[in-house]
Amino acid sequence: MAKKKSDDSGAAASPAAASPNGASPNGASPQAASNASNMLRAPAEVLYAEEIEHLIQEDKYDRPPGWRMSPRAVLTYICGGKTGSREITPKYIGHQRLVEIAISTLVTDRSLLLIGEPGTAKSWLSEHLAAAINGDSTKVVQGTAGTTEEQIRYTWNYAMLIAHGPSHDALIKSPIFRAMESGSLARFEEITRCAAEVQDALISLLSEKRLSVPELATEVPAAKGFSVIATANTRDRGVNDMSAALKRRFNMIVLPTPATIETEIQIVRKRVRELAVNLELKAKVPTEDAVEQVVTIFRELRTGQTLDGKNKLKVPSGVLSTAEAISVLANGMALAGNFGTGEVTAPDLAAGLQGAVVKDEEKDKVVWQEYLSNVMKKRGAEWRPLFTACSEHNT
Ligand SMILES: Nc1ncnc2c1ncn2[C@@H]1O[C@H](COP(=O)(O)OP(=O)(O)OP(=O)(O)O)[C@@H](O)[C@H]1O
Ligand SMILES: [Mg+2]
């Protein structure tokens, strides 16, 4: 069966972070709220239930069929702003226009494909869109080389099938089937990893907007509000391998890496704070300088030049995404909290940086060593502790 992706790079904020006043999200049932505090990664609609409820209550605009709130309210939920007297936290930080185009696409009968480098918040944005629009981001198909056609259509409870023959009760519906029936959004993660025949099966669902179940001599038409938000990254088996016919069914939006260092620092700081609450890391949030240094290293190695543009650099084989920068800092907090004084030190960050930069022991080590001695070493006193700690891993 389709399974939900559960890497912690996309982990959302804790309920406490979602409701800064500490109140439990009143949109969710008490049980959902208490379950959420136990979950390593609760879905966005649970974490931000309170914000979603407020947006629905204050919403003065028309709602498209099947939507819980208007497109404007969805935009406020994703990009942040005010509703009534309540502040809504931004979820996606970047071009608001891209989010507007994404939301508008979902109002039409075309599906949405979010593409970009790894760690550019494709899954994150897709989850939050589904949470705001339907209050349910969990109808997910995770695309892999092993994804079968059944996982996007339906399969059977074989015990019931053998005992009583095909029946509605014996049907196990895929997330896409359920979304079609209920007129809601299904998410398709890493769609390009699926085999061509699985992509083809999706083409017919998206163009005909009906799913046939020949064994029951029936056809399920998609209710209004149905759409698919797919994600694909431009590395690995990327969008270039996707069939042209399937590409035509989607409006594609490219999510860029953060345009400026300030934006990237803002994203990283926000997510690290949220993760720290969620994972109950017993350490202080890294200082602004520490965050800036980590993000600087990531941006310089990613783009192959120093921020001032004066020195060209070799680029390591890994992606060095924003998501990884967040992990380096969160790991630093875990080290400091469990084995240090609770203050994130240079050695705590060096450990994570080494793993993030050196993915290929032979090639990347040289790149990293050159960066250390040609760039970091020459940067003056504030960089000295991090330089020394990183160098120790490379002797
Ligand atoms: N522009 C952004 N605004 C808010 N959060 C961001 C942004 N860019 C990255 N992030 C954060 O980075 C993390 C990773 O995002 P996500 O898992 O959605 O990436 P992805 O694009 O789906 O990557 P992959 O291709 O590896 O699946 C999330 O925690 C997200 O909050
Ligand atoms: Mg993803």
Phi and psi at residue 394, in whole multiples of 5°? -115, 20
> Which amino acid type is present at position 55?
L
Residue of the nearest CA to atom 10 in ligand 1? 121
User: If you count DSSP H runs as helices and E runs as strands, how many of each does the chain have, helices first?
Assistant: 18, 11
pLDDT of residue 17: 38
Whether 293 lines ligand 1, by a CB cut-off of 6 Å, is no
Residue 114's beta-bridge partner residues?
Answer: 231, 253
Q: Residue 116: name the closest of 323, 266, 390 by CA.
A: 323
Phi first, then psi: what are they for 116, rounded to 5°? 160, 175
Please give the Cα distance from 372 to 293 (Å, whole number).
Answer: 13
- Angle at the Cα of 260 from the Cα atoms of 258 and 262, rounded to 5 degrees: 105
Nearest ligand to the C-alpha of residue 116? 1
Please tell me the predicted confidence (pLDDT) of residue 99.
Answer: 98
C-alpha angle 319/95/124, rounded to 5°? 55
Q: Whose CA is nearest to atom 12 of ligand 1?
A: 323
Q: Is the CB of 121 under 6 A from ligand 1?
A: yes
Q: Are 144 and 193 in contact (CB under 8 A)?
A: yes
Residue 267 Cβ inside 6 Å of ligand 1? The answer reads: yes
User: Collapsing DSSP states into helix, strand and coil, what is residue 250?
Assistant: strand
Residue keyed to tokens 């359920």: 178
> What is the chain's alpha carbon radius of gyration, rounded to the nearest angstrom?
23
Q: Which amino acid is at 23?
A: A
Separation between Cα atoms, residue 165 and residue 162, nearest integer Å: 6
Q: The whole model's pTM is what? A: 0.88
Distances (CA, A) of 126 to 11, 28, 59, 140: 13, 21, 22, 10
pLDDT mean by block of 10 residues, the chain; 395 residues: 39 38 41 66 93 96 97 98 92 96 95 94 98 97 93 95 94 97 96 88 91 94 96 76 85 95 96 91 94 97 94 92 96 95 95 93 92 94 95 84
pLDDT of amino acid 81: 96
Question: What are the residues facing 210 on neighbouring strands?
Answer: 221
Strand 218-221 to 210-213 pairing: antiparallel
C-beta separation of 166 from 210 below 8 A: no
Residue nearest to atom 18 of ligand 1 (CA): 121
Hunting for tokens 């208490």 — which residue is that?
Answer: 34
Q: Quick one: angle between helices 288-303 and 346-357, nearest 10? A: 20
Does the beta carbon of 231 lie inside 6 Å of ligand 1?
yes
Strand 154-156 and strand 171-173: the pairing is antiparallel
In ligand 1, the atom with minimum distance to the C-alpha of 235 is: 25
Residue of 317, 290, 297, 254 lying closest to 120 (CA atoms): 254
- CA-CA-CA-CA torsion sign (61, 17, 323, 194): negative
Ligand 1: nearest atom to the Cα of 126: 18
Ligand 1 pocket check for 233: Cβ under 6 Å: yes
What integer pLDDT is reported at residue 179 of this predicted model?
A: 97
Report d(CA 284, CA 276) in Å as an integer.
9
Between CA 222 and CA 180 the distance in angstroms is: 4
Name the DSSP letter for residue 223. Answer: P
Sequence-distant (6+) residues with CB within 8 A of 6 are 40, 41
Closest atom, ligand 1, to C-alpha of 93: 3
Phi, psi of 33 (to 5 degrees): -65, -45
- Burial of 110: CB neighbours in 10 Å, binned 0-12, 13-18, 19+: middle
